[in-house]
Amino acid sequence: MVSPLFLLIHAFKCQNPCFSVSGNNYLWQLMVGGQWLKIENDHVIETHYCQPGAKGITINTSIGKVFIDFDELKTDSAALKVRRLSFVPQGQAEDIAWYYRDDDLWCEYGSQSSNMSSTSIHSKDIEMHFSQNPRGTIQFTIGLTTYSLDFYTMTQINLATGSCRDVRRRPKFTLNDVGAVQLGSALQMLSLGSQPQWQFEGHSGAWYKFKHRYGTLTECSLNSNEIERKYQQNPTDCITFTVNGYPYKLDFASMIQINQTTNYTRRIRRMLV
């Protein structure tokens, strides 16, 4: 396993509540000795925090190794506190996504799940209810089934069967002043407890894992693990493969899949599950 990322912490006092010094709409800080200190290169933390499958991140700082728990926004050190500040223009709200775990994937509410069912409620609807009562519940339907979402326990319950799924609330990551090469290099240095998984976007907007599908019209010559090995070698490179004999290319820098016969493109993504 590679070493955890070394992140510097600098003293920083927020003078203006409308923006951060980096120009981003977020700011990660650690409290050290009673003072909140800015974490340099906090875009690395942010990009993983925005992934619903990421449970946390381990970093090395000038005061020792620290694990940041994303679900509870706390560290494993009694002496260190962590917080994430959000900066949005007055009258606007941060773009928040709500996800539920569908088998081994995290699906955003409103998108189609692996069984091709879509929810009757979207992230913005859930966020509106959450802002009004962060410990409340709401009900919605998927197909003919009614579910309850409990904000306090962060779970989704099937009211007919009682089965339960985990739920997560995460901001959507926006790349501002961080280049793809810089970000990709930084991501390779992270020590995370989650498994990377590569997915492509289907026609319906649902996301599917790259995997071998032998003997089908979607037979693929590579799988998610093979893509990850190539990505670790160079996060701005490309990789070629075939689907049912037709040539395709994955562009890591642009995060797209290209049909080299038709030039049709699809979005791809790297999730932590």
CATH number for the domain including 105? 3.30.720.50
User: Residue 192 has what pLDDT?
Assistant: 39
Q: How confident is the model over 72-87, as pLDDT tens digits?
A: 999 998 888 999 998 8
Residue 122 one-letter amino acid:
H
Residues 10 and 55 in one domain: yes
Q: What is the tally of helices (H) and strands (E) in the chain?
A: 4, 20
Residues 258 and 201 in one domain: yes
Question: 61 and 134: one domain?
Answer: no
Q: How far is the C-alpha of 205 from the C-alpha of 110, rounded, in Å?
A: 10
CA nearest neighbour of 41 among 23, 28, 50: 28
249 backbone dihedrals φ, ψ, rounded to 5°: -135, 135
pTM: 0.59
Q: Is residue 189 part of a domain?
A: no
Domain match, 9 and 81 both: yes
Together in a domain, 214 and 244: yes
Distance CA 267, CA 208 (A): 11
- Judged by average pLDDT, the poorest of 19-28, 48-57, 118-127 is 19-28
Q: 56-75 pLDDT, tens per residue?
A: 888 877 667 889 999 999 99
**Residue in 31, 41, 38 with CA at minimum distance from that of residue 77:** 31
User: What is the span of the domain harbouring residue 22?
Assistant: 5-86
> Which of 40, 61, 86 is the C-terminal boundary of a domain?
86
Residue 248 falls within a domain, yes or no? yes
Determine the pLDDT at residue 55: 86
Say how many domains are in the chain: 3
**Is residue 239 included in any domain, yes or no?**
yes
Is residue 190 included in any domain, yes or no? no
